[in-house]
């Protein structure tokens, strides 16, 4: 009897070296971008921050007025010519707010960057080496945190003298303990991990362990806290400017503008409303952005 040759079904097998799409490792950058744009607060906050960054960069193009030049239109109400009105010297308030964004963003960035560098370094040393280094640095942080931050900033500026640069230094100093304690707690957790213990077991130097193993695993909470502290720095520089300890006239700093306009609250309320709204929106933008980054990087939120 003749039987038919039955051929086995042909299956499409992947070629050697080919990796299926499901087996490909996730790209952390792409995962972050997707999570970021899915987080509504982070997107709204980044848009608000981006608006003020654009205003700061394109200030000479956006407005035709000089923020220091007075005019005869003192305390003019908002109009098509002066969108936000004018102050008691006839200066365009919109122009001064746009140029004031440069001061607020610059002071916030430089002061928080300095706080991150100094605070992270101290926290790194305290958390990794412990013993007397940890005791000394931790007690220093405790002493600084015992004072209200704005009062400590006022005391520092009072010793250094009024001025924007001294206000920047004061804001940087009062934020050092925040980043120092955060870095210390993170280092205490990371240095107990197996990969750090293995690096010690093979005789790796402490400096290499710190810079190549511990520090890269501690930056996420520092970055999130830096974004939130940026908002606090904007408020602090405005508070120092309002008290006459920050930027000095004719610099268009928002807190200084509020201080100059407080005598005209009933006569020309727009002189205080618009600088106050600028501070509020900037702080809101950085807070929303910081909260969004915290939720994105927090493993407990990745459900």
Domains of the chain, each with CATH number or no CATH = 40-301 (1.10.3720.10)
What gap in Å lies between CA 133 and CA 125, rounded to an integer?
7
The whole-number pLDDT of residue 300 equals 58
pLDDT at 54: 94
Check residue 14 and give its pLDDT. 47
Helix axes 270-297, 40-57, angle to 10 degrees: 130
Judge contact between 258 and 242, C-beta under 8 A: yes
Dig out the tokens for 117 from the structure.
Answer: 């560098």
The answer to whether residues 245 and 162 touch, using CB atoms and an 8 Å cutoff, is: yes
Task: Report the pLDDT value the prediction gives residue 113, as an integer from 0 to 100.
Answer: 95
176-190 and 93-129 helices, crossing angle to 10°: 40
What is the pTM assigned to this prediction? 0.84
Look at residue 26 in the predicted model and tell me its pLDDT. 60
Residue 82 contacts by C-beta under 8 Å, 6 or more apart in sequence? 73, 76, 92, 93, 94
Q: Residues 39, 43, 48, CA angle at the centre, nearest 5°? A: 150
- Structure confidence at residue 191 (pLDDT): 84
pLDDT value for 299: 57
Q: Dihedral sign, CA of 40, 45, 51, 53? A: negative
| Per-residue confidence (pLDDT) for residue 301, from 0 to 100 | 52
User: For each of the chain's 303 residues, which pLDDT tens digit applies?
Assistant: 444 454 555 444 444 444 444 445 467 778 888 888 888 999 999 999 999 999 999 999 998 898 888 888 889 999 989 899 999 899 999 999 999 999 999 999 999 999 999 999 999 999 888 888 889 999 999 999 998 899 999 999 999 999 999 999 999 999 999 999 999 999 988 888 888 888 888 888 888 888 888 888 888 889 889 999 999 999 999 999 999 998 888 889 999 999 999 889 889 999 999 999 999 999 999 999 998 888 888 755 554
């Amino acid at each position: 009897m003749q039987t038919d040759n039955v051929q086995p079904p042909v299956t499409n097998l992947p070629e050697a070296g080919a990796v299926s799409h499901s087996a490909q490792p996730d790209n952390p950058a792409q995962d972050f971008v997707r999570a970021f744009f899915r987080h509504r607060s982070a997107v709204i906050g980044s848009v608000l921050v981006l608006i003020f960054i654009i205003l700061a960069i394109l200030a000479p193009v956006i407005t035709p007025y000089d923020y220091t030049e007075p005019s005869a239109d003192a305390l003019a109400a908002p109009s098509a010519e002066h969108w936000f009105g004018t102050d008691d010297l006839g200066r365009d308030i919109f122009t001064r707010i746009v140029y004031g964004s440069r001061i607020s963003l610059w002071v916030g960035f430089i002061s928080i960057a300095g706080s991150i560098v100094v605070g992270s370094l101290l926290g790194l040393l305290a958390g990794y080496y412990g013993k007397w280094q940890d005791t000394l640095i931790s007690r220093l942080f405790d002493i600084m945190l015992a004072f209200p931050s704005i009062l400590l900033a006022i005391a520092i500026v009072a010793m250094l003298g009024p001025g924007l640069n001294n206000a920047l230094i004061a804001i940087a100093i009062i934020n050092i303990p925040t980043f120092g304690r955060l870095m210390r707690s993170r280092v205490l957790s990371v240095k107990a991990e197996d990969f750090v213990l293995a690096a010690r077991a093979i005789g790796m130097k402490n400096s290499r362990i710190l810079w190549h193993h511990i520090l890269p695993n501690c930056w996420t909470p520092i970055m999130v806290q830096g974004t939130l502290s940026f908002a606090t720095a904007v408020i602090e520089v405005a508070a120092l400017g309002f008290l006459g300890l920050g930027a000095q006239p004719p610099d268009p700093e928002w807190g200084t503008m509020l201080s100059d306009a407080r005598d005209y609250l009933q006569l020309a309320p727009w002189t205080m409303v618009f600088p106050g709204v600028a501070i509020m929106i900037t702080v809101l933008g950085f807070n929303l952005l910081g909260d969004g980054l915290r939720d994105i990087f927090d493993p407990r939120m990745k459900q």
